[in-house]
Chains A and B, each alone.
Chain A
Amino acid sequence: MDIAMNAPPEEKKHPLFAVLVNPINRLSDVGATLSALIFCGMVLLILSEVILRNFLGSSTEVSGEYSGYALAAMIYLGMGFSFREDAHIRITFLRERLGAMSAFVLEIGCLVFVMILSGLSCVFIWELVLTSKARNLTAYTPAETPLYIPQAIILVGMALLTLQIFARLTALIVGGFQQYKVAHDAGKN
Chain B
Amino acid sequence: MNVTLVTVMLLLFGLLGSGVWIAMSLIATAGISMQLLTNMPVAKIWAQAMWNSLNSWSLAALPMFIFLGEMILRTRMSDLLFEGLRPFVQIIPGRLLHINILGSAIFAAVSGSSPATAATIGKITLRQLKEDGYDTQLSHGSLAGAGTLGLLIPPSIVLIIYGVLAEESIGQLFMAGVIPGLMVAGLCMSYVIVRVLLNPSLAPVKRQRFDLKAKLLAVVKLLPVSTLILFILGSIYSGLATPSEAAAVGAVGSVIAAALLGDLKWSNLVEAIKGTIKTSAMICFIIAGASFLAVAMGYLKLPAQVAAFIGSLGLSPYMLIAILTLFYMFLGFFLDGISMIVMTLPITLPLVVQAGFNPVWYGIFLTLVIEVGQITPPVGFNLFVIQGLTGDRLENIAMAAIPFFLLIFLTVILITLFPMIVMILPMQMAG
Residues of A that sit less than 8 Å from B by CB: 32, 35-36, 39-40, 42-43, 46-47, 49-50, 54, 64-65, 67-72, 74-76, 78-79, 81-82, 85, 87-95, 106-107, 109-110, 113-114, 117-118, 120-121, 123-125, 127-128, 150-151, 154, 158
Contacts and interface: CB of A to CB of B under 8 A. Distances in A.
Interface string B253-293: 00000000000000000000110111111101110000000
B47 A87 contact: no
B57 interface: yes
Contact of B47 (A46, A88, A89, A125): A125
A59 B276 CA distance: 28
Contacts of A65: 57
B57 A75 contact: no
Label chain A's interface by main secondary structure: helix
B51 A128 contact: yes
Label chain B's interface by main secondary structure: helix
Interface in B17-37: 17-24, 27-28, 31
A87 B18 contact: no
A110 B18 contact: yes
B252 interface: yes
A105 B338 CA distance: 29
A90 B19 contact: yes
Interface stretch (B88-96, B202-210, B238-246, B411-419): B238-246
A125 B51 contact: yes
Most buried by A among B47, B54, B245, B334: B47
Interface stretch (B58-66, B103-111, B354-362, B399-407): B58-66
B101 interface: no
A124 B46 contact: yes
A50 B47 CA distance: 33
Given A75-B63, A123-B43, 6 more contacts: A32-B277, A43-B252, A90-B19, A91-B17, A121-B47, A158-B50
Most buried by B among A72, A75, A118: A75
Contacts of B63: 39, 71, 74-75
B2 interface: no
A82 B278 contact: yes
A69 B336 contact: no
B335 A128 contact: no
Interface in B319-371: 334-336, 339
Contact of A87 (B240, B244, B278, B335): B278
Interface in B113-133: none
Contacts of A91: 16-17, 19, 22, 334-335
Most buried by A among B62, B248, B280, B339: B248
A71 B56 contact: yes
B282 A88 contact: yes
Nearest to A51: B249
Nearest to B251: A43
A176 to B, nearest CB: 20
Q: Which 6 A-B pairs have the closest CB atoms?
A: A87-B278, A46-B248, A82-B281, A128-B47, A124-B47, A78-B277
A113 B274 CA distance: 27
A79 B47 contact: no
A121 B335 contact: no
B378 A74 contact: no
Contact of B18 (A81, A94, A125): A94
Nearest to B253: A47
Contacts of B241: 50, 54
A154 to B, nearest CB: 6
Contact of A88 (B51, B64, B277, B281): B281
A162 to B, nearest CB: 12
B50 A82 contact: no
12 contacts: A36-B277, A42-B248, A46-B64, A50-B241, A50-B245, A72-B55, A82-B277, A88-B21, A89-B286, A90-B21, A109-B18, A128-B48
B44 interface: yes
A46 B63 CA distance: 13
Nearest to A129: B47
Contacts of A78: 277-278, 280-281
A127 B18 contact: no
Contacts of B334: 91, 93
B244 A127 contact: no
A122 to B, nearest CB: 10
A110 B248 CA distance: 38
A35 B46 contact: no
A74 B274 CA distance: 12
Contacts of B336: 89
Interface string B209-249: 00000000000000000000000000000001100110111
A65 to B, nearest CB: 8
A88 B27 CA distance: 14
Given A50-B249, A93-B334, A110-B20, A71 B54 contact: yes
B43 A124 contact: yes
